[in-house]
Amino acid sequence: MALDLEDWSRARELAELLAPVVDGFKVGMRLFYRVGPAVWDYLRGKAEILFADLKLHDIPSTVAGGVRALVASGVNLLNVHAAGGSEMLRAAREAAQEEAERQGYPRPWLVAVTVLTSLDEVALRRELGVPEPLAERVLAWARLAQGCGLDGVVASPREAALLRRELGEDFLLVTPGIRPTGCLAEDQKRTATVTEALSLGADWLVVGRPILNASDPLAAALSIRREMEGNGSCAKKK
Residues recognised as catalytic: 55
Q: How many CA atoms, within 13 angstroms, populate the side-chain half-sphere of residue 41?
A: 4
Q: Which among 210, 147, 219 has a CA at the least distance from the CA of 182?
A: 210
Q: Tell me the torsion sign for CA atoms 42, 43, 45, 46.
A: positive
For 178, phi and psi rounded to 5 degrees? -85, 125
79 close to 53: Cβ distance less than 8 angstroms: yes
Which residues 6+ apart lie within 8 Å of 237 measured at CB?
none
H or E element that contains 142: helix 134-147
**Edge-to-edge, what's the strand order for the sheet holding 77-81?**
24-27, 49-56, 77-81, 109-113, 152-154, 172-175, 204-205
Exposure b/e, 227-237, CB count within 10 A at least 16 = b? bbeeeebeebe
